[in-house]
A = this chain, B = another copy of it.
Amino acid sequence: MVDVCLLGTGGMMPLKDRFLTSLYVSYNGKAILVDCGEGTQVAIAKHGLKMSRINLILITHCHADHISGLPGLLLSIGNSSRTEPLDIAAPESSISILENLMTICGGLPYTVRFYGLPEDRQVIFSADMIDPLLKIAVQPLSHRVPCVGYSLIFERKPTFLPQKAKELKVPVEYWKKLHCGEKIILEDGTIIAPEDVTEERKVPLKITYVTDTLPIDDIGVFASDADIFICEGMYGNPEKKASMNEKRHMLMQDACAIAKCAGVKRLWLTHYSPAEKEPSVYEETLREIFADTLVTSDGAKLTL
């Protein structure tokens, strides 16, 4: 089971009742944080989640509303006695900015390992620090500074069929290996393949997170078939389109159009302008573009 919590839904500046956009995804007792604006550590506590479980932080880009909570979060994680390393991935050219930001942390009792991601092509990496079954795809976006989107792809083990294993006389001690995808050889030389004792492989779970970008075509392909597509929608007022083009952001309507073309299961809008006091007023009309649109508010949760 993968638990998703959108810690905040604000863009640009935190408000009294709206934290900055940040995503907390937990799986098997470990967590991934995507972006870390000012106040993220407070939002984590407010929503009853644990900082100490975070093993990987993914940064989309180095604007203050996406990273200024990082030094405080890392310090607070340090104060909770962490000693194992923590990994942070971000666009390549942001790494020196993040390293500079770390100077205000003083000494941490654990190592922070930075991973620079290419800014000119899609890549995919294994997030073994969370789980060998988790792959993370990275998509360059089009903002005023290098910015990437992330897809968290959780491969799922096929269901094991003990009855079949028994019929094939596979001793119980081999069942785990087979379920994990390894072939085994029985004493009589019979080779047993994982697919002999499991159901068909399930489609992976996919969470796509895209914020601070023009609505470029690549996003539709990148988000295709996502179980949940979390996407910025700075404004719901179409009159803001020219300003959004200039600032390299998108409207809620742009996100809905992408969601439709990408065939995602559901769209969660986020990263609202502080000027949008009640983003939910747009929800009904947005659902005419893409039916499964949710204009989220802070703390939106889902279990996949």
Whether, in the assembled complex, A304 has its beta carbon less than 8 Å from a beta carbon of chain B, the answer is no
Complex interface: chain B residues within 8 A of A274 (CB)? 79
In the complex, the answer to whether A72 meets B38 with C-beta atoms within 8 Å is yes
Whether, in the assembled complex, A163 has its beta carbon less than 8 Å from a beta carbon of chain B, the answer is no
In the complex, the answer to whether B45 meets A15 with C-beta atoms within 8 Å is yes
Interface string of A28-39 (1 = CB under 8 A from B): 000000000111
Query: What residue in chain B is nearest A145 (Cβ atoms)?
Result: B106
* CB neighbors of B among A91-136 (8 A): 97, 100-101, 103-106
Complex interface: chain B residues within 8 A of A14 (CB)? 39, 41-42, 72
Give A101 to B97 CA distance when docked, in angstroms.
8
Query: What residue in chain B is nearest A75 (Cβ atoms)?
Result: B64
A77 CB to closest chain B CB, in angstroms? 10
* CB neighbors of B among A62-98 (8 A): 62-65, 67-69, 71-72, 75-76, 79, 97
Give A38 to B103 CA distance when docked, in angstroms.
15
Query: What residue in chain B is nearest A47 (Cβ atoms)?
Result: B16
Query: What residue in chain B is nearest A97 (Cβ atoms)?
Result: B103
In the complex, the answer to whether B42 meets A41 with C-beta atoms within 8 Å is no
Whether, in the assembled complex, A262 has its beta carbon less than 8 Å from a beta carbon of chain B, the answer is no
Complex interface: chain B residues within 8 A of A76 (CB)? 12-13
Give A63 to B46 CA distance when docked, in angstroms.
24
In the complex, the answer to whether A104 meets B72 with C-beta atoms within 8 Å is no
Give A217 to B37 CA distance when docked, in angstroms.
39
Given A68-B71, A69-B38, A63-B13 contact (CB < 8 Å): no
In the complex, the answer to whether B101 meets A104 with C-beta atoms within 8 Å is yes
* CB neighbors of B among A40-67 (8 A): 41-42, 45-46, 62-65, 67
From A97, A101, A144, name the one whose CB has the most chain B CB atoms within 10 angstroms. Answer: A101
Complex interface: chain B residues within 8 A of A106 (CB)? 63-64, 144-145
Complex interface: chain B residues within 8 A of A45 (CB)? 15-16
Complex interface: chain B residues within 8 A of A69 (CB)? 38, 68
Give A124 to B154 CA distance when docked, in angstroms.
60
In the complex, the answer to whether A105 meets B64 with C-beta atoms within 8 Å is yes
Complex interface: chain B residues within 8 A of A75 (CB)? 12-13, 64-65
A44 CB to closest chain B CB, in angstroms? 10
Residue A104 contacts which of B12, B63, B144 (CB distance < 8 angstroms)?
B63
Give A16 to B63 CA distance when docked, in angstroms.
24
In the complex, the answer to whether A13 meets B41 with C-beta atoms within 8 Å is yes
Knowing that A67-B104, A97-B103 touch, tell me 20 more A-B residue pairs with CB under 8 angstroms.
A12-B75, A13-B41, A13-B72, A14-B39, A14-B42, A14-B72, A15-B42, A15-B45, A38-B42, A64-B72, A64-B75, A64-B105, A64-B106, A68-B68, A68-B104, A97-B104, A100-B100, A100-B103, A101-B104, A106-B144
